[in-house]
Amino acid sequence: MPPVRGRLTHGAPLAPLVWFKTGGAAEWLFEPADADDLASFLYALDPGVPVMALGLGSNMIVRDGGVPGVVIRLGKAFAKVTADGLALTCGGGASGILVSSTARDAGIAGVEFLRSIPGTVGGFVRMNGGAYGREVRDILVEAEVVLRSGEQRTLALGDLGYSYRHSDLPEGAVVVSATFRGEPGEPAAIQAEMDRIAAAREASQPLRSKTGGSTFANPDGDKAWRLIDAAGCRGLTRGGAQVSEKHCNFLLNLGDATSADIEGLGEDVRAAVKAASGVDLRWEIQRVGIVA
């Protein structure tokens, strides 16, 4: 491995770092000191070594055989958010809660929906994260990324090729910061909207469980949860994994599930929905690593 100023760990367990609390270890886990540290590391790293970014681990299944190559985790150095006028400059490791709270304090409206997405800015930008009628492409100005080659580049909104829960960001690229733009608002009204979103999530989603968030993308003109429910999958189990009875587009680790249980249950759901409605559900949760 190339020399680094941050922290580089061999055989680092990933289960504690993801919401499902399952899965194997990273061959290498790299927590860079800053963007230059990341860029120089990737520049010197053998191009054949796979690289993957890890945020809060909320929208991910790490398979039981672990993840080969290097997993990059952006720590506190990438978790800062600053406001300037109606613009927010956000580190790739900043949470949606921090972004929306900073915007509220600065009187910036329009980014409240980020309060509801369990993840970090890097993941939001890569996946065009969204909720409650808004998505990242509605607020993004530009993103700073480090490509797999080590090149640092600024990408404008139009460069990202956004569609529903998808971008054209190259594989291995890491989003180290993003600039969002909102609109003028009153902090009290912004807080009220954030409270409304938080209450709606609490009422409808199994937030206090070991879950990975929304499992499947909504098909055009329909809702994944409705198709799953109609196929009779609410409460379905495999090993220690279960389809949530509260919101059936969420999979749960009941306590002793393996990643194979969770992914296998997802495939059971996809097969049932296909048989019942003819719809091929597309995974929204990222599945990474080696099947044990």
Catalytic option among 214, 238, 263, 270: 214
Among residues 73, 115, 165, 270, the one annotated as catalytic is 165
Q: Is residue 197 domain-resident?
A: no
Write down the catalytic residue from 31, 193, 263, 284: 284
**164 domain-assigned:** yes
- In this structure, are 246 and 232 located in the same domain? yes
pLDDT at 31: 97
Judgement on whether residues 166 and 253 belong to the same structural domain of the protein = no
Evaluate whether residue 1 is within a structural domain.
no
Q: What is the CATH number of the domain that holds 109?
A: 3.30.465.10
Q: What is the residue-averaged pLDDT of the chain?
A: 95
**Is 165 noted as a catalytic residue in this protein?**
yes
Q: Tell me, what's the pLDDT at 247? A: 94
In sequence order, what are the residues at sequence separation of 6 or more whose Cβ sits closer than 8 angstroms to the Cβ of residue 116? 96, 131, 132, 197, 198, 200, 201
Residue 246 pLDDT greater than 90, yes or no: yes
Nearest to 282 by CA among 232, 239, 224: 224
Same domain, 228 and 140: no
Determine the pLDDT at residue 117. 84
151 falls within a domain: yes
In this structure, what CATH number is given to the domain that contains residue 222? 3.90.78.10
pLDDT digits (tens, 9 = 90+) for 11-22: 999 999 999 999
Q: What is the pLDDT of residues 181-198, one digit of tens each?
A: 999 999 999 999 999 998
Tell which of 190, 223, 251 closes a domain.
190
Residue 153 within a domain: yes
Residues 72 and 119 in one domain: no
pTM of the model: 0.90
> For the residues 209-228, what does the mean pLDDT come to?
94
Q: What is the domain extent for residue 56?
A: 7-76
Annotated catalytic residue 284: yes
